[in-house]
Amino acid sequence: MSVNVTDVQIRDAAGQERRLGDWNGQVLLIVNVASRCGFTRQYAGLQTLQDTYGPRGLAVLGFPCNDFGAQEPGTLPEIREFCSLTYGASFELFDKVHASGTTTEPYTTLTRAEPAGDVAWNFEKFLIGRDGTVLARFKSNVEPDSAELKSAIEAALAA
């Protein structure tokens, strides 16, 4: 089933309601992030993707999530400081979400896209096309610098 996220309401780091449609025309990489996870090192790779592909229209959007092993217990200011100081990450972070069980947006909508189902762990990635359509889903073990992810981003940017 094709899923479009344009009308999905999210809450930014300042607590303001936004629509994912605010990024229409850009390719999005939506990631549920956590600061105390074995995959936390992916922050650096996600920032590299933002730096490399941002000028061509990619926006990495991080959604802190404490659902998996309570690995994101901090407040949003603490998370932002950690990401910046430890990994040089400056891509946009949003209010904390639930990506499993009783989900909150954007995951209530994202997990309906094929292959549908709950997010399994931290750092699962959803690639969204310029038109707001979910293009692909990558499990946590797919590193930001993997050929699989980078080729999918490049194809989405070229579309």
Catalytic annotation, pick one of 10, 37, 83, 135: 37
Alpha helices in 21-61 (DSSP H): 42-53
- Burial of residue 74 (CB within 10 Å: 0-12, 13-18, 19+) is middle
The alpha-helical segments, DSSP class H, found in 22-143 are 42-53, 76-87, 107-110
* DSSP E strand boundaries for the chain: 9-11, 17-19, 27-33, 58-64, 92-93, 125-128, 134-138
Q: How far apart are CA 21 and CA 5, in angstroms?
A: 7
Q: Does 37 qualify as catalytic in the annotation?
A: yes
> What is the distance between the alpha carbons of residues 34 and 43, in angstroms, rounded to a whole number?
9
Q: How far apart are the first and last CA of the chain?
A: 20
DSSP 116: P
Catalytic residues: 37
